[in-house]
Amino acid sequence: MKLTDTQIEDFHRDGYLMLPNLFDAQEAAVLAENAEAVYALDREEVVREKGSKSARTAFAAHQYNEAFARLGRHPRLVEPVMQLLDGPVYMHQYKVNAKAAFDGDVWQWHQDYGTWARDDLMPEARAMNIAVFIDDVTEFNGPLWLIPHSHREGVYEAGHDLQTTSYPLWTLDNAKVAELAGQAGIFSAKGEAGTVLMFYSTMVHASSPNMSPWGRSIVYLSLCHVDNHIRQFKRPEWIAHRDFAPIEPLPDGCLRELAPAAAAE
C-alpha cells in the first residue's frame, strides 16, 4: 500500500494522518478477540493499571500471539512507513494499549522519541508510530489527543514521571503543553474500529482516563529505519527490541485467514 502525494503532504504538515476504516470489521474483530486473550495472560509484558487488575498495555504481543504477529507485518502498515522513512524498517516497540471501561488511566503529555532518545539512545527521529483502532474510539472512552505541528521542533525538555501511573513516562510540563496547544489546538483522534492513525515520533500526545462504560483498545507499532537502531539496551528487550532485521510484509489477506468465517470455508 502506498500513500498519495496529498496524504504525505498532510502528514508532514500536521504531524499525523488518519486513515479511516483501513481494516474491515472482520479484521478488527479478529484483533479485538485476540486483545482480550492477551490481556488475560499472566506475563511480565502485560502491565496492569495502578492498583487494579485491568490491563494497561501489553508489550511485544507480536512475539506470543499469531494475530498480532501478522499485524506487525501487515503491508497496509509497514509499506506506508517504509515510504515515509525512505527504506526498510524494524520493530522498535509493539504495544496493545487498553483503556478499560471505568478503569483506564491517563497517559500523560509526552513525545515517544523523547523516551527512545533518552532511554534507548536512538540516534535520530527516523521512527514513527502507526496505530490501529480495534474498537470504536469515541469522545467518551479515552481517545488519543495530539497537538498539531508539535513535531516540528524536535525533543522538548521533559521530566521522568515515576508516580502518576503504573508505567513511567518522560512528560512535558503544563506550561509547555499550554503554549503548544495555544498555538495549534488539540486534535482528538476518534474513529471506527479498523481506523489507522499515523504520527511522528516527536508528536506531543496524551490520552484522558476512560470514565465511560465502554472499553477500547489500540495497537501501536513503533517502526524505525534499520540504520537508526537503538544503541543502548538498559530497558527489557520486550519493551525496546533488539532485532534490527527489516520487516518483510505478509500478503494483504493475512488477518482474514484467522477469522472464524474464513476457517469454516
Residue 97 is predicted with a pLDDT of: 94
In this structure, what C-alpha cell is assigned to residue 85?
522513512
The count of C-alpha atoms lying within 13 angstroms of the C-alpha of 57, restricted to the half-sphere facing its C-beta, is 19
Tell me if residue 176 falls in helix, strand or coil: helix
Domain of residue 83, residue span: 5-264
Integer Cα distance of 123 and 116 in angstroms: 9
Residue 162: predicted pLDDT: 65
Domain CATH number, residue 54: 2.60.120.620
| 158 band by pLDDT with thresholds 50, 70 and 90 | confident
Pairing verdict, β 216-225 and 127-133: antiparallel
Residues 87-98 have a mean pLDDT of 97
Percent share of the chain, pLDDT over 90: 85
| H-only helix segments in the chain | 5-14, 25-39, 66-71, 75-85, 112-120, 174-184, 260-264
Q: Residue 163: what pLDDT?
A: 60
- Nearest 10 degrees: Cα torsion 203, 9, 22, 249: -80
Under the banding of pLDDT at 50, 70 and 90, the label for residue 39 is: very high
* Beta strands in the chain, from DSSP E residues, in sequence order: 16-19, 46-48, 55-59, 89-99, 107-110, 127-133, 144-146, 159-161, 169-171, 187-189, 196-200, 205-207, 216-225
Mean pLDDT, residues 24-48: 95
* Contact assessment for residue 143 and residue 16, using Cβ atoms and an 8 Å cutoff: no
147 phi/psi in degrees, rounded to 5? -100, 105
pLDDT band at residue 7 under the 50/70/90 scheme: very high
Query: What is the number of structural domains in the chain?
Result: 1
Residue 104 has what pLDDT?
Answer: 87
Q: Which residues are within 8 A (CB) of 160 and not within 5 positions of it... i.e. 6 or more apart?
A: 168, 169, 170, 171
Summarize the confidence of residues 67-75 as an average pLDDT: 98
Give the DSSP H or E segment for 68: helix 66-71
What gap in Å lies between CA 217 and CA 18, rounded to an integer? 17
Mean pLDDT of the chain: 93
